[in-house]
Amino acid sequence: MTETKPLAIIVLAAGKGTRMKSDLHKVLHPIAGRPMLMHLMASAAALAPERQVVIAGHGRDQLEKALGSSATIAVQDPQLGTAHAVQQAGGALAGFDGDVLILYGDVPFVRMETMQAMIARLHEPDSPAAVVLGFEPEDALQYGRVIAQQGRIMKMVEHKDATEAERRCRTCNSGLMALRSADLFGLLARVGNDNAQGEYYLPDVVNIAIADGRTCAVVVTDDADEVAGINSRAELAQAESRWQQRRRATAMADGATLIAPETVWFAWDTQIGRDVMIEPNVVFGPGVSVADHVTIHAFSHLEGATLAAGVQIGPYARLRPGADLREKAKVGNFVEIKNAVLHQGAKANHLTYLGDADVGAGANIGAGTITCNYDGYFKHKTVIGERAFIGSNSALIAPVKIGADAIVAAGSAVSRDVGDGELRMVRAEQLVKPGWADRFHDAMKKKKAEKKG
């Protein structure tokens, strides 16, 4: 039976990320609407670590803001290599006795199952001093190599320092490693910097342990994309593309129809029900939940929205945070919903803005209607009763309440409550001047002719 011990996570995130050419810390660049670091932290959190330490350098303040109290920040300054970076976690792990998993903030998609496999290997009968996560890419490029036989490591070598024979080895070093806390810092203290870069390399702890006669092991992932690092905007886009492809496949496997899958973009937490129809060019921001039998027409954008069963939206609809569409509600083309509830069967078919509103069941919102919810200082609420009918091009000036079964005539600007069953018409009196237009045209034509003459 695998031994269970307390777990600590060390995440290296001290790199400057110069290839990103960004003021934003590299590991905070989003994939699927979530910082890449937080993808990694979520996977690690599934293992219930007792301590989490993030090694920072450049952009420490940004990391502190993103992580809050979920992890301890340790600073690497100056930056003298990966082994030196891990050493900076010593203070945060003082008194800790357990397993330590070393991860990288720019390698965000390591699966929880892979992390578990590394820890489990640490506690197999041969009791390795270190477990390295290896991978076998199609092109080994400049990766360091793991020279191993039957899963037992003979040598770790950086590409720059490898011989031609060693470079032909297909097993590459992902950089991820699992060790016991009792071994880790003693091994780190013995790492030197006699190499091409003059840095303290983390893989050297493996070579030191092997020289001591200890066993070290490699666990090889069957998915090289899992350990792909992200160091540039191009690599960020590639990671986004891979993530989206997998999420689209999952949505379809779970019973949703994507007419043009490559044009649909999900967020990390998008929830999609069964028998959902998603037309081309639909974008999901974070915080969207879609129930069964929903239709989302083309070119719609959703963020922070909840869609109940049978809802229809779009095309060209925008649902902003707080949009709550109840069963069989309908939001049509060029309609924007923000912090508003549309109850069962309510509909706003086109050219409408509903912000900070509660729209009753069966209500009909005519084209061009807006809720005037902001006075320049505060937001105010509009309440529209069940089965109310709001005529086209109406402005509902909040705070205001429209009663059940009430009718607001087209073109009205309503600033006072409307009672149940009432008609409210707010229009200027029409002024009619027979023959005025004919006389105007005659006068202007004469004036234009005189100018030409």
Residues recognised as catalytic: 350
Whether cis (ω within 30° of 0) applies to the bond prior to 261 is no
Contact 340, 323 (CB under 8 A): yes
Q: Are strands 382-384 and 347-359 parallel, antiparallel or unpaired?
A: parallel
Q: Are strands 370-372 and 364-365 parallel, antiparallel or unpaired?
A: unpaired
Contact 128, 121 (CB under 8 A): yes
Q: How far apart are CA 153 and CA 180, in angstroms?
A: 17
Q: How far apart are CA 338 and CA 341, in angstroms?
A: 9
CB atoms within 10 A of CB 278: 28
Helices (H) and strands (E) in the chain, counts: 9, 33
Residue 347 Cα distances to 164, 313, 325, 394, 424, angstroms: 69, 10, 10, 15, 20
For tokens 């109310």, name the residue.
388
For tokens 């945070």, name the residue.
321
Backbone angles phi, psi at 289, to 5 degrees: -125, 125
Q: How far apart are CA 42 and CA 99, in angstroms?
A: 18
Contact residues for 355 (Cβ-Cβ < 8 A; gap 6+)? 336, 337, 338, 339, 340, 371, 373, 374, 379
Q: How far apart are CA 67 and CA 334, in angstroms?
A: 37
